[in-house]
Amino acid sequence: MSDPAVISHLPVRPRHCDAQAMMHASRYYEYIEDAFLDWIGARGGYDRLRREGADLVVKASGCEHHAPARLGDVLAVESAPARLGTTSITMRFTMRRGDELVAVGTVTYVCVRDGHPAPLPTILTGPASPPAATAPGTPPTSTAATPPPA
C-alpha cells in the first residue's frame, strides 16, 4: 500500500497509569485498537467494512516496549500495514513521544465472512478515502502525518 500512514495523537490519562504514573503494559493494546480504528476510519470506517459483509478477528498480537509512556504524555501512534495476505493484514503501530520511540505493536487481523476466512475487501487494501468533514470546533482524533495540535 502506498498510502501515507495515519497518525493518531492519544493522551496518556490517569486510568492508563500505575502508581508510578507510568502507563501499564496492558494499556498499550488500547492505544493500538484506537489507532487501528482511526486507520480504518480513513478508509470509510468499520461500519463500511461490516456493510460489505466482512469482519476482522485478531490472530496474533505483540508489543515491544522501548521507553515508558507517562501520565500527561501525548503519544503519536503511526498505523501502517506491514504485510497484506489474501485473507489477513498485519498492522504495525509505532508509538512515539516527540522523537523518542516508546513502543512498537503489531496485530494480525484475519478477515472473516460467516465465520470463515475470506479475502480482504478493498477497504483494507485500497487507498484511503478523502477525509470526512467534521463539525466546526470538533478536532479529529487522528491526522495523516501532521504534528499534534499545540
Residue pLDDT, tens place only, 6-63? 999 999 999 999 999 999 999 999 999 999 999 999 999 999 999 989 999 999 999 9
C-alpha–C-alpha distance, residues 120 and 124, integer Å: 6
CA 69 centroid distance within chain: 17
Question: pTM value?
Answer: 0.83
Tracing cell 488500547 back to the chain, one arrives at 30
What b/e string do you get for 54-87 counting C-beta neighbours within 10 Å, with b at 16 or more? bbbeeeebebeeeebbeeebebbbbbeeeeeeee
Pairing of strands 6-11, 74-84: antiparallel
Model confidence pLDDT, tens digit, residues 124-145: 988 776 554 333 343 444 444 4
